Amino acid sequence: MIRSVVLSAGKSLPRRLVKNAELEGVIETSDAWIVQRTGIRQRYIAADDETTASLGEAAARAALDAAGLTVDDIDLIVLATSTPNNTFPATAVEIQERLGMRHGFAFDMQAVCSGFVYAINTADLYLRGGMAKRAIVIGSETFSRILDWEDRSTCVLFGDGAGAVILEAQEGEGTIGDRGILAASLRSDGSHREKLYVDGGPSTTRTVGVLRMEGREVFKHAVGMITDVVVSVFEQAGITADDIDWFVPHQANKRIIDASAKKLGIADEKVVITVDQHGNTSAASVPLALCEGVETGRIKKGDLVLLEAMGGGFTWGAVLVRW
Ligand SMILES: CC(C)(COP(=O)(O)OP(=O)(O)OC[C@H]1O[C@@H](n2cnc3c(N)ncnc32)[C@H](O)[C@@H]1OP(=O)(O)O)[C@@H](O)C(=O)NCCC(=O)NCCS
């Protein structure tokens, strides 16, 4: 059976690093409050010349280099983003053009913070369906552009950045020992859409809008939703939390990550945490964390890696990958 095997990961962060202390001069907040409530210590903020397309391109190039491939080897680009360069065309085609790729196909996916989990699952289906041989799956965001910088309850939480992985269709045995994507579970429930949304859009206000969130409501639902999809993935694969080598969750809030890991019975030392360094980079957070796990020598070939995310919509999902 065909499996979508992860060949490499790459990342790109804006030049400007903003520590919590710097925000103390902009809004009424404190490093202590942000760290205690979220675990975030710093985030990167894009300059005007750094966009979702440029960060995504750089992450894709890093992933290509790490795999020893060029764009000629790729036939699909899936970009997860909620902060596209333009309403249309898809930012994925801009990245395709920047990479100098004149064949194949590219498109954007929008599932907010779950975007990368949706995108890697989508690319897996194209590869297993035989429509593509190798894909770059990118999560790239410039959330700083859609923040209300006067709303201290949201602006301290998010950051900009991009991460990417390369997937390749390879023959597997059809067992849990195969490398590649082994199981996935996706969910959404639009009845929660007003708990985390952007108050503008082309078809309503004709503006871009800014992020609005009922933080406590999001928090209340997060752990239950995350654990539901993870348990579904465990059941599909016939494994338990003990079989996982690395848990790479969406990096929104350290308290949500800790509570999810605890409820699932995943040991702390198996959890890859980057929220302290990057803040919540929405669709970029999981691939950035994956890249960190690989670059620090923790995630290695053959490891069983569990990805999960939850975000606006609400959307949520989990993917199990043997690296
Ligand atoms: C946003 C979040 C950190 C707020 O933490 P909380 O413990 O729920 O805090 P509350 O919203 O109840 O606010 C507590 C107090 O802190 C204040 N506060 C809010 N933001 C603050 C900030 N940046 N600095 C200092 N104080 C702040 C509030 O005004 C409130 O003050 P009050 O009690 O005088 O009214 C938390 O709800 C959260 O992380 N939710 C999930 C958000 C998330 O992860 N979203 C993305 C999902 S993809």
Q: Which domains does the chain have, with CATH numbers?
A: 2-171 (3.40.47.10), 180-322 (3.40.47.10)
Beta strands 2-12; 42-45: pairing state: unpaired
Q: Is 229 helix (H, G, I), strand (E, B) or coil?
A: helix
What is the percent of the chain where pLDDT is above 90?
99
Task: Look at residue 223 and tell me whether its pLDDT is greater than 90.
Answer: yes
What is the percent of the chain where pLDDT is above 70?
100
Instruction: Mark whether 278 is an active-site residue.
Output: no
Token pair listed for 104: 């194949």
**pLDDT of res. 25:** 86
Instruction: Please give the average per-residue pLDDT across 54-69, as a whole number.
Output: 98
Catalytic residue from among 20, 121, 155, 250: 250
Instruction: Mark whether 113 is an active-site residue.
Output: yes
Going from the Cα of 215 to the center of ligand 1, the distance in angstroms, rounded, reads 6
| Distance from C-alpha of 148 to C-alpha of 200, rounded to nearest angstrom | 12
- List pLDDT tens digits, range 165-180: 999 999 999 999 999 9
Task: Look at residue 232 and tell me whether its pLDDT is greater than 90.
Answer: yes
- Mean pLDDT for the chain? 98
Residue nearest to atom 23 of ligand 1 (CA): 152
Q: Which residues contact 294 (CB under 8 A, 6 or more apart)?
A: 8, 9
Residue nearest to atom 8 of ligand 1 (CA): 216
- List pLDDT tens digits, range 167-218: 999 999 999 999 999 999 999 999 999 999 999 999 999 999 999 999 999 9
- Ligand 1 pocket, CB under 6 A: 29, 33-34, 37-38, 113, 152-153, 156, 213, 215-216, 218-219, 252-253, 256, 280, 310-311
Going from the Cα of 145 to the center of ligand 1, the distance in angstroms, rounded, reads 20
| Distance from C-alpha of 1 to C-alpha of 133, rounded to nearest angstrom | 14
Report whether the peptide linkage leading into residue 143 is cis, meaning its omega lies within 30 degrees of zero: no
Which atom of ligand 1 is least distant from the CA of 23?
A: 23
Catalytic residue from among 85, 121, 253, 280: 280
Going from the Cα of 312 to the center of ligand 1, the distance in angstroms, rounded, reads 17
DSSP state of 112: G
| Distance from C-alpha of 80 to C-alpha of 178, rounded to nearest angstrom | 26
Going from the Cα of 103 to the center of ligand 1, the distance in angstroms, rounded, reads 46
Residue nearest to atom 46 of ligand 1 (CA): 252
Residue nearest to atom 18 of ligand 1 (CA): 153
Instruction: Mark whether 291 is an active-site residue.
Output: no
Going from the Cα of 246 to the center of ligand 1, the distance in angstroms, rounded, reads 29
Catalytic residue from among 85, 113, 121, 155: 113
**Residue 31: pLDDT band with limits 50, 70, 90:** very high
Which atom of ligand 1 is least distant from the CA of 252?
A: 44
Residue nearest to atom 5 of ligand 1 (CA): 37
Residue nearest to atom 25 of ligand 1 (CA): 29
Which atom of ligand 1 is least distant from the CA of 156?
A: 23
**Residue 163: pLDDT band with limits 50, 70, 90:** very high
Which atom of ligand 1 is least distant from the CA of 155?
A: 23
